[in-house]
Chain A
Amino acid sequence: MTPVLELLQYDFMRRALVAGLLVGLAAPVVGIFLLQRRLALIGDGMGHVALAGVAAGVLTGAAPVWTALAAAVAGAIAIELIRARGRTSGDVALAVLFYGGIAGGVVLISLSPQGTPANLNAYLFGAITTTSGSDLVTFAVLAVAVLVVTAVLAPRLFAVANDPEYARAVGLPVLGLNLTLAVLTAVTVVVSMRVVGLLLISALMILPNAIAQRLCHSFRASLAVAMVVGVLVSVTGIGTSFYAGTPSGGTIVVLAVAVFVAVSVLSAALERTARRRHQVAEGHHEHEHAEGCGHPAVAHGDHVDYVHEGHRHAVHGGHYDEH
C-alpha cells in the first residue's frame, strides 16, 4: 500500500486532512488583509485569547471549540475597538489582553481534572488525533463562512487595508469592515485550533502570503499563490506529522518556513541574474515616453520601445530599460 493510501485508511487522519485543507484555504485568505494592514501578529493575540476560551470549556465541560469561538470573537472585537480608539494606550491594552488570555488559559486548564500538559500541548501546537467528527462539521461550516464572506467583501477589505482614510472619504464603513476582518480572523483561529494549534495559527495566515510576496506582483496573484501554498504545506505537514510522530502544527509551520527560505533564496538568485541582463536607461529619466512624445515608437515583441538618442528605451516598472 502506498503511504498516501495508508494515511487515508484511518478515520482520524481523514478528519485531520480535511481540517488541514479547510485551514490551508481559509488562513491565507484572511491573512493577506492582515499583512496588508501590517497586522501580521494580530492572529497570535487572538490565539492567546482563544486559549482562555478553550480552558473555560474544559473546566465547565462545555465544548472547547464553541467556548474558544466565543472568546476569540469577543477578543477580536475588543482588539479592533481598542485599536480604533487610540494608539499609545491601545498598544498596552492589547498586550494586557494577549497575556491575560494565555495566562488565564493556562491557569484554568491546570484547575480542570483533565488538565494534563499533553492536553495543553495539543491545543497550543496542534495534534492530528484530536479532530472529532462534530468538530469537523463545525470547522467546515465556519471555514466556508469565512471564505464566502471574505470573497464578497474582498474589494472593500482591499480598499480599507490599502488606504483607510480614502475609504472613509468615499463612504465605506471602515470600522465595520475592520471589525468584520477581526471576527473572520477569530473564526479562522478556531477552525485551526485542532490541527495547527492556537500558538501557531498566525504563521499559517502570514507565511503563505509572505511566500507569495516573493513571487507575485499583483494582489490577485498573491492571494491565489498563498492559498495554494497554504493547502500544500498544511496537508503535507499533517501527513509528515503522522509518519514522524511530531505535532501537526509545528510540522506544518516548519515546512512553511522551509518553503519561505527556499523561495527567498531562489528568487534572490533569479533577481541577480535578471539584473545582470537588465540595463536601466540613464539614472534620472525625467521625460516620459508615450504615444506622440516626440520619440519614434518601435514595436518590440509584446511592448513598445522608444528611440531616444540612438538607444531604444522600454518602460519597466517605474523606469526605462535599454533594449
Chain B
Amino acid sequence: MPVTAAAGPPVVRLSGVSIGYGDRAVVRDVDLTVADGEVVAVMGANGSGKTTLVRGLLGLATVLAGDVEVLGRPLRTRQDRARVGYVPQRHTVGGAVASTVREVVASGRLARVGWLGRLGARDREVVQRAIEAVDLSPMAGSDIAELSGGQQRRVLIARALAAEPEVLVMDEPTAGVDLASQQALARTVGRLTERGVTMLIVTHEVGPLIDVVTRAIVLRDGSIAYDGPLATSPVGQDAGEHHLHEAGDCADPHADVDPDAGRAAARGAWLGSPVEDR
C-alpha cells in the first residue's frame, strides 16, 4: 500500500541537504525522495525542522549543503516555480485593503501568465475551478476579511491551485481550523490525489487527512527519524507518547510555544480510526 520511492520518477529529491537561515543549519544532512502521486505527511515536534525543510525545498530558506531537485531540477526559473504550489502557514489572508476571494486566488495564477500579468479567458476559468475545488464558489465575490479562519485557509489553497501545480506543499493547513473547513480540506486533498498531484503536508495532526496520506516522515532535531507508512510511524503507533514528548519540548524555554500542542494531545484519538483500513 505505501508508495515507495521506486514507484515513479522522483518529484522531489534531496541528497545530503542542510537547510537553515543565515549560516545556522536547522535541517541537517537529509536525504529524501518523493515519488509521483505520493501524499507525504511531514511530522515532528516544534523546532524539529518541518517548516524549514519545506521552505528549503521552495527556495525560501537557504540550502547550505547538498542538492535539492524538484521535478528533476533545481527550482530556478519562474516556470519551474509555477509547477510547485505553496500554501504558507498563515491564519489570515491579505493586507489592509479589501480584496475578494477571486482577486486573491487570481494572484496565484500570475505564475502562469505573461509579463503583462493579465489573465485570459482560460486563466479565469482555472481560477474559478480552483475556487470550486475548495468549495468556496458561493463566496467568490466576498471580501476575504468576512470569511472565517478556515475559509481563509482554503482561499490560500485555491490560490496555490490556480497555478495548476504538479506538486503541492502545504504548511499546517488544518491547524486551528473549524470542523467544516477541515472536512472541506479533506475533500479537496482527496480530489487532488485523484488528479495525481503529489503533496507534502506539514502537520501536527493527520486527523482529517488520514485516508489520503500515503507516507509519513517524522523529523527530530533536524533529521529524518522515521520514513514509512503512517500506521507504523512512531506518531502512528503511540500518539500519546509522541504528544507527551512534544509537550516536553514546549517546556523548553528555547522552543517555540505551541498553542496547538495541548489540544493535539487531547485529540490524540485520531489514532482511534482503524488505520489498517486505508
Contact = CB atoms under 8 A, between A and B. Distances in A.
B30 interface: no
Interface residues of A, number: 43
A171 B74 CA distance: 13
A161 B143 contact: no
Contacts of A163: 88, 90, 93-94, 107
Interface string A251-284: 0000000000000000000000000000000001
A38 B96 contact: yes
B107 A158 contact: yes
A220 interface: yes
B222 to A, nearest CB: 21
Interface of A: 32, 35-38, 40, 152-156, 158-159, 161-163, 165-166, 168-172, 209, 213, 216-220, 222, 284, 286-290, 303-304, 315, 317-319
Contact of A219 (B100, B110, B139): B100
Contact of A159 (B60, B88, B107, B139): B107
B117 A219 contact: no
Given A158-B103, A171-B111, A317-B143, A286 B179 contact: yes
Nearest to B58: A169
Nearest to A226: B97
Q: In which size bucket is the chain B interface?
A: 35 or more
A36 B95 contact: yes
B178 interface: yes
Given A38-B95, A213-B98, A318 B103 contact: no
B119 to A, nearest CB: 8
Contact of B148 (A32, A155, A209, A318): A318
15 contacts: A36-B95, A37-B95, A152-B116, A153-B117, A159-B107, A163-B90, A163-B94, A169-B81, A209-B97, A218-B100, A218-B141, A286-B178, A288-B135, A303-B138, A318-B139
Nearest to A216: B98
Interface string B93-127: 11111111001101110110000111000000000
B97 A166 contact: no
B151 A318 contact: yes
Nearest to A153: B117
Nearest to A154: B117
Given A168-B60, A318-B142, A213 B97 contact: yes
B64 interface: no
Contacts of A172: 78, 110
Contacts of B204: none
B139 A317 contact: yes
A97 B107 CA distance: 34
Nearest to A215: B98
Contacts of B94: 36, 162-163
